[in-house]
Every structure is written in C-alpha cells, then in structure tokens.
Amino acid sequence: MATNDVPFDDGNCFACGPNNPIGMHVHFERAQDSDGVRARCTLGPQYQGWRGIAHGGIVMALLDEAMAHAAGFAGHRGVTAAVNVRFRRPVPVEEPIEVRGRVAWQRHRVLGVEASVFDAAENLLAQADGRFVSRGRLDAANDRANPFAK
C-alpha cells in the first residue's frame, strides 16, 4: 500500500463484509453502555477447530474486527499494527456470543485498542489488546465504512 493510500471498505471483508459469500457477516453497532462497539453472533460449524469449539484463528479475526470497528467508531481508518491475544475459555460454535471492542488510548496516529469475546452468561472467553495505525479520518457523512458516525 502506498503511503498516500487509505483503506477502503468494498463490502468483502471476511469478518463483516455483507458481500463475502464465505464470510462471517458479523454486524457491529455502538455499545449502549460504553465508548465502544459490540456484535452479537453465533458462529456456524464451518468455523470450528476442535469439535464444538471455534478455531483460534476465527476468534482472532473476531477480536481484530472488533478493534477495527472501535477505531472506526473513533473516526479512524485503522490498520492493524500489532495484536496480543489471550484465550481464556473455548469459544463455542452454534451458541450465542458477544464481541466487544474499544479504543483505550490514542497518541498521534497510533490507537491502543482492546477487544473481548463473551458467552451468553457473560463469561470472558478471549481478549486482545493491540495497536492500530490511523491511515486517515473517516468521512462521517459519506463513508459507508463508518456506521458509527455521531
């Protein structure tokens, strides 16, 4: 990517893209009780690793996506620079889960982001913290990649 290029949402994101035929189609919204975002979803069996458990890479994709949407909520086109993940309990397939993300801090163009996955009983299943680099501001009025514009 050239330094003057900015990420563009064409609807084909594996995690949230509505046009991706093999994607997860996760839909994030503003969290009512925090400065972040959340998505409720149920992973299908095609995202399984071991029997009944989501593949770790899929869980990481959900966490990364929550952090990206949190950056969008804060008005940034962010790209992932680094992510640390901690798996606390298995993430089930075919059961409801909630994924949450938020921006914890910002220094110049670097955003400190956090994300978590919870089961229906509010048990913490996985969490991540990361660094995103802002590649520009989202245009709140015209950018479909910013569904969180205030």
In this prediction, residue 6 carries a pLDDT of 53
Q: pLDDT by residue (tens digit) across 120-134?
A: 999 999 999 999 998
How far is the C-alpha of 57 from the C-alpha of 48, rounded, in Å? 10
Q: CB of 36 within 8 A of CB of 70?
A: yes
Q: Which two tokens stand for residue 62?
A: 């959900």
Selected residue with higher pLDDT from 109 and 127: 127
Q: What is the pLDDT of residue 150?
A: 41
Say whether pLDDT at 5 is over 50. yes
How many CB atoms sit inside 10 A of residue 16's CB?
A: 24
pLDDT average, residue stretch 112-118:
98
pLDDT at 12 over 80: no
pLDDT at 115 over 90: yes
Please, what CATH class does the domain formed by 29-137 belong to?
alpha beta
The closest alpha carbon to 131, from 112, 106, 116, 107, belongs to 112
Q: Judge whether residue 142 has pLDDT over 80.
A: no
148 pLDDT more than 90? no
Query: Each residue of 56-87: pLDDT tens digit?
Result: 999 999 999 999 999 998 899 888 999 999 99
103, 36 Cβ separation under 8 angstroms: yes
Q: What percent of the chain has pLDDT over 70?
A: 87
Whole-structure pTM value: 0.85
